[in-house]
Structure 1
């Protein structure tokens, strides 16, 4: 089923085998690689898994394009970009520390400069990526990285693909107009987009300077979490995921740059035609987007605060059942009705690593200091003093996390290292520990009453 959304067209469903063509009958009939393809196109397969992975998990797509992807000049290494990290065993770039860490909103870049003598102020999505944290190494296909992006410039005659892993992009400020080999996607704040490994894309900024977060996984792919006792429905419903329809550029005799991230390093190659020349495609290895407002929240209607796993949108599983390379979790508008319960997230120490960001509104566990566009990395944590005092003494009646308040969490069973850039940027809060400094002792050995 195709669904029109603004000027873009999408197909509904998660993990589906889709077929799309921008010209009638561009897809070959009854086979994938005929001797001659319709319209004189080239057939090219893009694999997201090994050929021999079981059918349930096998991912691949067939693309029918004007020229194959091999038609480019040799790659050359781009000058070192030290704030983009993928190998986290290198202690020169990464620190492993047990402290709670929080960042103020990352400063937006100034609007695009039209002055020819200061082009360095014009930063596209690729050069606006800065790594904050991560674990593992893409060369052995294990781990993840967390980046923020901060850009003010379109990717003009430039495309990018990531050989290291899948990108889950969370816009916080400004829309992203993304052209992919599979079609075009418009992504707004409170939506996410997943660009799987190896798929070329370009990002334009229709609203000017843009800011957001990126979760990158080096192994496997994102999937919907199992629902278990929840049953057949709830959380993120498959029908709400949208993949683009075929769109192509017949652009030749141009100077096009293909950028590639390969084991954390950037490489560039030149070609004389657009990489977005896919006239038709079919398969299940595709980019997709999701509107976080469609998340069906499941929660407690009796007592206690449910574990945050109940808010998982997507997961990338590890080889250990029940433990994830990465979970993407959101905390969105919902009703709180629990009786005789401390309703904000409780104090806890977790064997999982937690990285949080705020898209808009306020987070119910932090009264101040945690703002949209900022982030935090937590070990032992919980509500700040103001939130604790208020929640411990307020009248318990049905209350609502306000509409428009959306926080999220990247969670992993791996231990995250913090990059040198993340620990030295101006947004790092120097006194985050003061959020709990004024917590009082209410212990009274002569009074066992909870009231």
Structure 2
């Protein structure tokens, strides 16, 4: 179903794939010949401006049975829960925690597009600046229907259920503890066989890339060779009333056409959808003292124009050893100039064993203090500092952004999952100050 994607960030690399049913379907020697093999149409999909520097330029050539321009006019669709109206509520700086979001009842058929619920975000897709965080809640497949996002990239994190994704480039199967990125403009359809839930980080600026490693060196964190992209696969299928759903300027639109859009026989380029298994992440950690900043767990980043500051980072907290000496090992208490949204795929997050549940979320806004709950602090302050495994059977993640995130009406009220008692997890922290303290006798 998938083949290796050797490098993620472009850097002049070219990927090539053709459906084995049509050998030689890729034109030889040029991108757009007068007549393509097999009577195909050539179509370019550009993810950056034509004049972007070569190392940053993203585009792919698709060789398809029909060009994607063959469709009827778009009409506006009313979407109840997809929103980019960040002014519909006043967002409090308080720490926020959501209990697991409800999947649709069996009596209600909801597909991936209909199940998109915007939780929070900032910025404007019209000016290509900002992010949105969505929760997807669905229980049925997208039948004779595809979706594409004209506003930006989707980083999809499934938490419950398996997603079988068909794209113009081929097929991907996505399970919990895997992620995929469907980049701006790429058409895809999602099939499911059970109630399914997960998280989406949408970026309007640029694209995701691997973080620079700096002093870490050439190896570590997410290795480029572990990212996978689909192999070419096509279907030549006439379908009356096939729906193409577009997300454009924060709204949904529908156009109809008389054929499947997944008719790409061959493609080449460096602008592709891709997936990654989080279990393959190579952890870098402290081995002497103190607690490293969470940036060492960055899988993907979408940089801003300010050096070293991200529009969005995707960060994970995978199983690992904790061996620091003379150190409070869990995350430290913290106030941050970034916004921190966390989700839990499975297990129990080390700093909050209770209340933060798989399928739920937390949001710690800019300069709002947060950190380990009372139980975690007391336990870690008195634990024997022997080598210890951390986060076995757990996968927590964070969407971190330099933007101040506003919560939607759905996130604040409609979903009815906001935990009003979240603040209580810190209230039992005791004062341990002793003005007569003396260092331990040697």
TM (norm. structure 1) is 0.94
1:7-26 → structure 2 map (5 Å cutoff): 8-15=1-8, 16-22=13-19, 23-26=22-25
Match of 1:380 among 369, 374, 398: 369
Match of 1:406 among 395, 406, 420: 395
C-alpha distance in 2 between matches for 1:202 and 1:393: 51
Aligned to 1:116: none
C-alpha distance in 2 between matches for 1:287 and 1:244: 7
- Aligned-pair distance for 1:299? 0.1
- Aligned-pair distance for 1:447? 1.0
Aligned to 2:76: 77
Q: Unmatched 5+ residue regions in structure 2?
A: none
Aligned to 2:411: 422
Q: Is the 8 A contact 2:317 2:391 kept in 1?
A: no
Aligned to 2:259: 273
C-alpha distance in 1 between matches for 2:214 and 2:2: 33
| Number of residues of Structure 1 aligned to a counterpart in Structure 2 | 431
Change (3 A) 1:253 1:409: closer
- Aligned-pair distance for 1:69? 0.8
Aligned to 1:107: 102
1:113-132 → structure 2 map (5 Å cutoff): 113=107, 121-132=108-119
Q: Is the 8 A contact 1:256 1:274 kept in 2?
A: yes
Please tell me the root mean square deviation across aligned C-alpha atoms, in Å: 1.2
Change (3 A) 1:450 1:189: farther
Q: Is the 8 A contact 1:87 1:138 kept in 2?
A: no
Aligned to 1:294: 280
1:288-341 deviations in whole A, cap 9, x for unaligned? 000000000000000111000000000000000000000000000000000111
Aligned to 1:96: 91
C-alpha distance in 2 between matches for 1:37 and 1:87: 45
1:400-423 deviations in whole A, cap 9, x for unaligned? 024321100000011111111101
Q: Is the 8 A contact 1:87 1:137 kept in 2?
A: no
C-alpha distance in 2 between matches for 1:409 and 1:380: 16
SS at match of 1:106: coil
Q: Is the 8 A contact 1:318 1:324 kept in 2?
A: yes
SS at match of 1:387: helix
Q: Is the 8 A contact 2:333 2:372 kept in 1?
A: yes
Q: Unmatched 5+ residue regions in structure 1?
A: 1-7, 114-120
SS at match of 1:236: coil
Aligned to 2:334: 348
TM (norm. structure 2) is 0.96
SS at match of 1:322: coil
SS at match of 2:56: coil
1:1-27 deviations in whole A, cap 9, x for unaligned? xxxxxxx13233233421101120001
C-alpha distance in 2 between matches for 1:377 and 1:253: 43
Change (3 A) 1:448 1:382: farther
Q: Is the 8 A contact 2:348 2:394 kept in 1?
A: yes
Alignment of 1:446 with 2:425, yes or no, is: no
- Aligned-pair distance for 1:96? 2.9
